């Protein structure tokens, strides 16, 4: 695939070898803007210039199948079926603000800044390699792309990935077949063999291989109702299904898999949620033991899942075998390999798809052992051993997987770094959409159950009890990707969902885990005194959890959940207004903290800037509205003994992390609700020694 005229002028061809500087400079259009780097003979363009000055300019390059310009278009279009003729971006321009070239490899790195009305993506980093026509065509032959897929071609590619998965991926082989204890769905669709053109509902199936479907509901989604249940128990023609679902059925048959699970057709939808409540707890097994999960990333009413495409418009990645092969390098503009460095094709086409912004789908994606993504111009694959596409079948393997991939596998979520991976899941999940907010707890319950079954950890209302201190320190997310939902107080939603103040369930928006997610204390519930750490010192004890009713499902449904914590309460009052209205905010105490009688009198904290030259500020992050005239309490959870590091190796500090709580009355008993979090920011304040001394003086936790 060749560059358009605009991109050819942007990426000048350099002579080889480049040890003669005069040959290089003679080939540059404007030598005054180029400088030679001290590293690897690299040349860098220091001036900014326009790649495309208008939308019409980009459209012309796209029509010529320029791979670089097609990559730009794929990153900003609304969907895979969108056309640049129909999606004009007003005041569009693309400016190159950094360009580096390595002449020996004919390799270029471009940083492109996009501007235009309504654009979400601003900057792109692309890598381009000029190559010979022979190398490019050989790459196309190895990994061909069809103009339009068929059920047979999709099944062929899926089988190829599955064979590799079954033969070479040790992490996938651990889930090779479901155990006898695995629970099957209540119903499956029986599709018959490859020659069949009918389907029916199959009740109470035994252990049989089946494919699960992950899809986004729309007005044309077929549903199982009490009125059509008996009809669907008998053979029905494929033609009664929308085209998208006919395509899914055909793919299953060509793969030789007779049974298919689709939630909308395997769970009765008009019985007031009765069957859904029975089937939801089975989601853990339904997805993790499916032979394969087919995912419709992009669905369009009236269209199937097989997209027409222009194969030459899909950029090819540079094959690994071509590195350090001089015969693969071309100084002309014959063909090029292009790679998006900021995000993989899978991130652009799959992670950013509307389906994968749904909360239910996050669980489906994490639980599934193998996934095939449909609805884009090429197919994408994910399993525990590999992430790939048609042009790069094994693009990412575990050894060098991207940290920001859209899926955390069960290997990740049950491994030694599971706290970090759960933190990622939580931040994404709380920002995803739900049709019914009352499902916020249950829509992740299957994933939590599986993690608990594999690790032995205890889960309640969104937190892991062995890591309760760390998990209670969640904060409202900030930044451009953070979301906040309008709280619905109607009877149909939030009143049905438990919302304990200590859980992220109580906050109507996206959250992020505590700042010490990789290092927070992990304490045994049965033997808390066995915890040992040089860095962390617990200051509180989780003595009991009370769930109402007692027989409730801690993962999915309960009326009320209380954490009984033994610790020290520091009464405080806030004064002043924080300089900024966002989170976090900072307060300081101006006067010494005094002890009156045997208890701590309240502290007065005054709003301040983060950098305060006189006093050490305390960082606060509130999850509920604070009335600064009211009294609150600081509940210290643990001390962190911290060294500044390389910049100030001699400076050490003991920082305290904890909760802000407010007392509420509940039938005469003393209870507290979570208001937010607090911690000392970088330097110790007077609080740490006062807290330690008071705990010793008052005997708090003496019998732990």
User: Using CA atoms, how far apart are residues 607 and 579, in angstroms rounded to an integer?
Assistant: 8
Is the residue at 555 inside a domain?
no
Residue 12 forms part of a structural domain: yes
Task: Write the pLDDT tens digit of every residue in 518-557.
Answer: 567 888 888 888 888 888 899 999 999 999 999 888 898 8
159 falls within a domain: no
Q: Between the CA of residue 46 and those of 99, 123, 129, what are the distances in Å?
A: 8, 17, 20
- Per-residue pLDDT, 613: 63
Say yes or no: 397 and 275 in one domain: yes
Per the listing, tokens 């904060």 go with: 475
Beta strands (DSSP E) in 493-630 are 511-512, 536-538, 541-548, 560-566, 570-575, 585-589, 595-596, 599-600, 603-608, 618-622
First-to-last C-alpha distance (Å) of the chain: 70
Same domain, 95 and 222: no
The predicted-structure confidence for 225-268, as pLDDT tens digits, reads as follows 999 999 999 999 999 999 999 999 999 999 999 999 999 999 99
Q: Which two tokens stand for residue 660?
A: 């802000």
Residue 597: pLDDT band (50, 70, 90) is: very low
Q: Which two tokens stand for residue 635?
A: 């509940």
189 and 304 inside one domain? yes
Question: How many residues does the structure list for the chain?
Answer: 704
pLDDT score for 516: 63
Domain count, the chain: 4
Range of the domain at 462: 408-514
Q: How far is CA 460 from the centre of its chain?
A: 22
pLDDT in tens, 349-360: 999 899 999 999
Secondary structure class of 19 (helix, strand, coil): coil
Q: Strand, coil or helix: what is 6? A: helix
Residues 369 and 431 in one domain: no
Specify which residues 579 forms β-bridges with. none
The percent of the chain in helix, strand and coil, each rounded to the nearest 5, is 30, 25, 45
pLDDT at 702 over 80: no
- Is the residue at 560 inside a domain? no
Residues 424 and 507 in one domain: yes
Same domain, 602 and 677: yes
Q: How many helices (H) and strands (E) in the chain? A: 19, 32
For residue 373, CA distances in Å to 294, 444, 516 come to 6, 21, 35
Does residue 266 belong to any structural domain of this protein? yes
Tell me, yes or no, whether 94 and 223 share the same domain. Answer: no
Cβ 383 vs Cβ 412: under 8 Å = no
Residue 592 lies in a domain: yes
pTM given for the model: 0.89
Report the DSSP pairing between strands 43-45 and 93-102. Answer: antiparallel
On the question of pLDDT at 489 being above 60, the answer is: no
Looking at 406, 431, 451, the residue that finishes a domain is 406
Whether 548 is covered by a domain: the verdict is no
Same domain membership, residue 106 and residue 43: yes
Residues 375 and 460 in one domain: no
Residue 239 dihedral angles phi and psi, to the nearest 5°: -65, -15
Same domain, 175 and 65: no
SS3 state of residue 425: helix
The answer to whether residue 534 sits within a structural domain is: no
Asked if residues 683 and 613 have their Cβ atoms less than 8 Å apart, the reply is: no
Token match 């055909």: residue? 250
Question: How does the average pLDDT of the chain come out, rounded?
Answer: 86
At residue 20, the pLDDT reads 60
Residue with tokens 């575990």: 398
Share of the chain above pLDDT 90, in %: 48
pLDDT score of 670? 86
Residues 478 and 489 in one domain: yes
CA distance linking residue 631 with residue 633, whole number of Å: 7
Residue written as token pair 């002449």:
103
Q: Band of the pLDDT at 647, cuts 50, 70, 90?
A: low
Q: Rounded CA gap, 574 and 595, in Å?
A: 19
Co-location of 417 and 359 in the same domain: no
| Whether the Cβ atoms of residue 353 and residue 343 lie closer than 8 Å to each other | no
Contact 314, 139 (CB under 8 A): no
Q: Which residue has the tokens 């599955």?
A: 162
3-class SS of residue 699: coil
DSSP state at residue 92? -
pLDDT at 333: 66
């Amino acid at each position: 695939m060749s560059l358009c005229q605009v991109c050819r002028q942007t990426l000048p061809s350099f002579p080889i070898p480049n040890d003669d500087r005069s040959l290089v400079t003679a080939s540059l259009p404007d030598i005054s803007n180029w400088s030679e780097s001290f590293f690897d003979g690299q040349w860098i363009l220091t001036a900014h210039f326009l790649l495309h000055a208008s939308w019409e300019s980009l459209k012309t390059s796209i029509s010529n199948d320029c791979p670089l310009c097609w990559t730009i278009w794929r990153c900003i279009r609304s969907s895979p079926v969108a056309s640049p003729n129909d999606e004009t971006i007003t005041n569009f321009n693309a400016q190159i603000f950094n360009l580096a070239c390595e002449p020996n490899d004919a390799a270029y790195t471009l940083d492109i800044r996009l501007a235009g009305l309504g654009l979400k993506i601003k900057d792109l980093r692309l890598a381009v390699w000029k190559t010979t026509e022979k190398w490019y065509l050989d790459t196309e032959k190895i990994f061909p792309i069809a103009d339009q897929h068929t059920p047979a071609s999709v099944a062929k590619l899926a089988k190829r990935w599955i064979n590799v998965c079954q033969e070479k991926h040790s992490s996938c082989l651990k889930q090779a077949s479901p155990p006898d204890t695995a629970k099957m769905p209540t119903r499956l669709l029986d599709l018959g063999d490859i020659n069949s053109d009918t389907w029916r509902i199959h009740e109470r199936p035994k252990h049989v291989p089946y494919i699960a479907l992950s899809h986004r509901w729309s007005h044309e989604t077929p549903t199982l109702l009490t009125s059509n249940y008996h009809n669907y128990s008998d053979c029905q023609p494929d033609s009664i299904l929308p085209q998208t679902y006919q395509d899914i059925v055909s793919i299953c048959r060509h793969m030789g898999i007779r049974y298919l699970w689709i939630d909308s057709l395997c769970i009765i939808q008009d019985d007031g949620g009765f069957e859904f409540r029975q089937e939801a707890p089975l989601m853990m097994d339904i997805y993790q033991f499916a032979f394969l999960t087919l995912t419709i990333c992009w669905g369009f009413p009236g269209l199937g899942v097989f997209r027409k495409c222009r194969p030459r418009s899909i950029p090819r990645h540079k094959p690994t075998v071509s590195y350090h092969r001089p015969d693969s390098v071309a100084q002309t503009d014959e063909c090029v390999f292009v790679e998006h460095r900021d995000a993989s094709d899978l991130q652009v086409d799959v992670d950013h798809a509307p389906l994968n912004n749904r909360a239910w789908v996050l669980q489906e994606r994490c639980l599934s052992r193998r996934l095939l993504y449909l609805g884009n111009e090429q197919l994408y694959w994910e399993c525990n051993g590999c992430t790939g596409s048609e042009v790069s079948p094994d693009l990412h393997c575990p050894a060098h997987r991207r940290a920001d991939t859209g899926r955390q596998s069960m290997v990740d979520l049950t491994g030694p770094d599971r706290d970090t991976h759960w933190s990622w899941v939580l931040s994404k999940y709380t920002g995803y959409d739900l049709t019914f907010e009352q499902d916020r707890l249950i829509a992740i319950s299957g994933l939590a159950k599986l993690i608990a079954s594999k690790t032995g950890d205890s889960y309640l209302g969104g937190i892991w009890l062995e890591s309760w201190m760390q998990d209670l320190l969640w904060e409202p997310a900030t930044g451009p990707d953070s979301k906040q939902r309008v709280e619905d107080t109607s009877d149909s939603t939030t009143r049905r969902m438990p919302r304990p103040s200590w859980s992220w369930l109580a906050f109507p928006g996206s959250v992020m885990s505590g700042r010490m997610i990789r290092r927070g204390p992990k304490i045994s519930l049965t033997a808390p005194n066995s915890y040992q750490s040089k860095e962390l010192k617990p200051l509180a004890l989780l003595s009991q959890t009370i769930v109402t009713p007692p027989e409730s499902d801690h993962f999915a449904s309960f009326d009320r959940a209380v954490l009984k914590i033994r610790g020290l309460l520091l009464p405080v009052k806030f004064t002043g207004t924080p300089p900024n209205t966002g989170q976090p905010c900072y307060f300081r105490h101006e006067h010494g903290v005094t002890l009156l009688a045997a208890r701590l009198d309240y502290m007065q904290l005054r709003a301040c800037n983060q950098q305060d030259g006189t006093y050490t500020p305390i960082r606060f992050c509130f999850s509920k509205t604070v009335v600064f005239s009211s009294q609150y309490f600081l509940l210290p959870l643990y001390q962190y003994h911290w060294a500044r590091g390389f910049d100030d190796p001699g400076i050490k500090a003991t920082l305290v992390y904890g909760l802000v709580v407010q007392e509420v009355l509940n039938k005469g008993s003393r209870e507290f609700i979570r208001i937010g979090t607090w911690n000392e920011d970088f330097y110790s304040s007077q609080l740490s020694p006062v807290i330690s001394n008071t705990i010793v003086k008052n005997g708090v936790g003496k019998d732990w």
